[in-house]
């Protein structure tokens, strides 16, 4: 059995993974801005750059990225 220790290599690999996902997402957004920014052309998923952007967004959402929950368990957004 292995325990997760803060600061252990597991944490740094998770941080590196988050950074890689974010930088890949940022690069995909930049490529879409270069291609479609300031134009009236419709950007659809049939264009390779948009498909890459959608895949990167999906990867970020599947990963979760946050290391801590946004709200505490006892708080509610609805009051």
**19 in a structural domain:** yes
**7 in a structural domain:** no
pLDDT for residue 53 is more than 90: yes
Mean pLDDT (whole number) for 5-10? 52
* Residue among 62, 41, 61 nearest 49 (CA): 41
**4 in a structural domain:** no
**49 in a structural domain:** yes
pLDDT for residue 1 is more than 60: no
Instruction: Please tell me the total count of domains within the chain.
Output: 1
3-state DSSP assignment of residue 50: helix
How would residue 72 be classed by pLDDT, with cut points 50, 70 and 90? low
Query: What confidence tens digit (pLDDT) does each residue in 15-43 have?
Result: 899 899 999 999 999 999 999 999 898 99
pLDDT for residue 2 is more than 50: no
**5 in a structural domain:** no
| Residue 39, domain extent | 14-63
DSSP 68: S
**40 in a structural domain:** yes
**1 in a structural domain:** no
Question: Per-residue b/e over 45-76, b at no fewer than 16 CB within 10 Å?
Answer: eeeebbebbeebeeeeeeeeeeeeeeeeeeee
**68 in a structural domain:** no
The pTM of this model reads 0.67
């Amino acid at each position: 059995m292995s325990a997760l220790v803060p600061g252990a290599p597991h944490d740094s690999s998770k941080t590196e993974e988050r950074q890689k996902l974010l930088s890949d997402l940022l690069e995909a957004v930049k490529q879409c801005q270069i291609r479609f920014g300031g134009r009236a052309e419709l950007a659809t998923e049939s264009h390779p750059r948009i498909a890459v952007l959608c895949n990167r967004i999906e990867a970020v959402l599947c990963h979760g990225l946050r290391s801590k929950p946004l709200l505490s368990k006892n708080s509610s957004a609805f009051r």
